[in-house]
Structure 1
Amino acid sequence: MERRQRGRPRAFDRDHVILEAARLFWARGYSGTSTRDLTAATGLSTSSLYAAFGSKAGLFEGAVRTYAERYREIYARAVAEEDVHTVLERILVDSVDEFCRPSDTHPGCLLSSAVMTDSTDTLDAGTYFAELQVSNERTLRERIERALEHGELAAAVDAGVVAGLVQSVWHGLSVRSRLGAPREDLLAVARCTLDLIRERFTP
């Protein structure tokens, strides 16, 4: 007789469920997405959804964390570049590429839609997003401070101001991507920002 496999077989593709849920949250917001919508999109029953994620809020938080970590990775890769202007380019250009990834593998910038405009007080996702942004900006500011120490930027430059400028542009690009701006337009804004920083802050 064949021996039965121990353990419970995986009944669903978690990555697929996260992606489909994220698409709904991106398009409709948290409150505008019902459990029925989620079960229809993911193919899970209500009981399976709750067993896997605990609640609709748990699924929402899982989606936010999954896609937010991609932006943390962009910053981590960027600050490893030797030239500070390449650091800034990698942050803005690579983020635009992430915002504009094909819809079959990415839900759009969930961070600038459901989290920023429609999370409830009972969710930790908004707090997580804020912490992520603070962490990314701190990582960037510390890299700019090192650039100042090595004379890559003019001595009078305020590292916090430059980091804040880049973060403000990043948020604007994120929102514009959600509103349907094409990749070429977003890249043009990113490159214009980089040119202005180079002209204004290079010794």
Structure 2
Amino acid sequence: MSGTTRGRPRAFDRDRALLEAARLFWRYGYSGTSTRALTTALGLSTSSLYAAFGSKAGLFEEAVRTYAERYREIYRRAVAEEDLPTVVERVLVDSVHEFTQPDDVHPGCLLSSAAMTDSTSTLDTSAHYAELHAWNERALRERVERAVREGETDAVDAAALAGLVESVVHGLSVRARLGAGREDLLATARLAHEVICARFPPPAVTPGGGRRPRAARSR
């Protein structure tokens, strides 16, 4: 084997590099992740890392945006569902599946990550996360408002309901980061779905098609 062949660097895989970098950033935050740790994990020289991503900050920004968008996509798919119970179910269940992706394809749970308390010179991570959270909650609130407007369910406080679903999602995120397994989290998500959906059953109707007052709930 020639010396040139022996010294040939491995092919650069950008997706794999982002995954490995995200794992470090998620665990240690931006400031706590050194350039040396990144080059070691990615198998790149410092000059190659800068050539690929511009800077450590550029790598961090691309990692955050790449994986954060997966959470937005959960809500985008969910609010496209035809009925409100399925919307809520998709948010909760799909979030659990995202939180518990296999390690070889996922860096860990972004929502409860150390990266969310850190920042860089090019990306205010807290602001980016706040925007993502606001977008998700707004999409869900608007979907609830549409369900009420179209008579799918009786009147409900859309903002409070969206906030409740978001609170459950964040709780699931924390538990996932602490090591809870997928089946355990799914059981919690399904129970939360059942409890939440009990607050907005389909509106009662009369035989002629008009709505009638619903009987008071037993306490």
The amino acid of 2:115's aligned partner reads V
Cα deviation per residue 1:75-100 (whole Å; 9 max; x = unaligned)? 11111110111011001101100110
Cα deviation per residue 1:151-195 (whole Å; 9 max; x = unaligned)? 23222x100000011111111111111111111121122111111
What corresponds to 1:186 in structure 2? 185
Q: Distance in 1 between matches of 2:94 and 2:186?
A: 10
- Alpha-carbon contact 2:27-2:115 (below 8 Å) kept: no
- Alpha-carbon contact 1:25-1:110 (below 8 Å) kept: no
2:160 paired with 1:161: yes
- Alpha-carbon contact 2:21-2:63 (below 8 Å) kept: yes
Q: Distance in 2 between matches of 1:25 and 1:115?
A: 6
Q: Which of 22-31 and 167-176 deviates more?
A: 22-31
- Alpha-carbon contact 1:22-1:63 (below 8 Å) kept: yes
Task: Work out which of the two has the higher radius of gyration on C-alpha atoms and give 1 or 2.
Answer: 2
After TM superposition, the structure 1 = structure 2 runs for residues 21-170 of structure 1, keeping only pairs within 5 Å, are 21-117=21-117, 119-120=118-119, 122=121, 123-155=123-155, 157-170=156-169
Scaled by the length of structure 1, the TM-score of the pair is: 0.89
Q: Distance in 1 between matches of 2:62 and 2:106?
A: 14
Q: Where does the alignment leave 5 or more consecutive residues of structure 2 unmatched?
A: 1-10, 204-219
Structure 1 residues 158 and 186: alpha-carbon distance in aligned structure 2, compared to 1, 3 A threshold: same
What corresponds to 1:13 in structure 2? 13
* Aligned length, in residue pairs: 192
- Alpha-carbon contact 1:22-1:107 (below 8 Å) kept: yes
Q: Distance in 2 between matches of 1:66 and 1:101?
A: 15
Q: Distance in 1 between matches of 2:54 and 2:130?
A: 23
Cα deviation per residue 1:39-59 (whole Å; 9 max; x = unaligned)? 000011111112222222221
Scaled by the length of structure 2, the TM-score of the pair is: 0.82
User: Sequence identity, in percent?
Assistant: 71
Instruction: Tell me which protein shows more helix as a share of its residues.
Output: 1
Q: Where does the alignment leave 5 or more consecutive residues of structure 1 unmatched?
A: 1-10
The amino acid of 2:51's aligned partner reads A
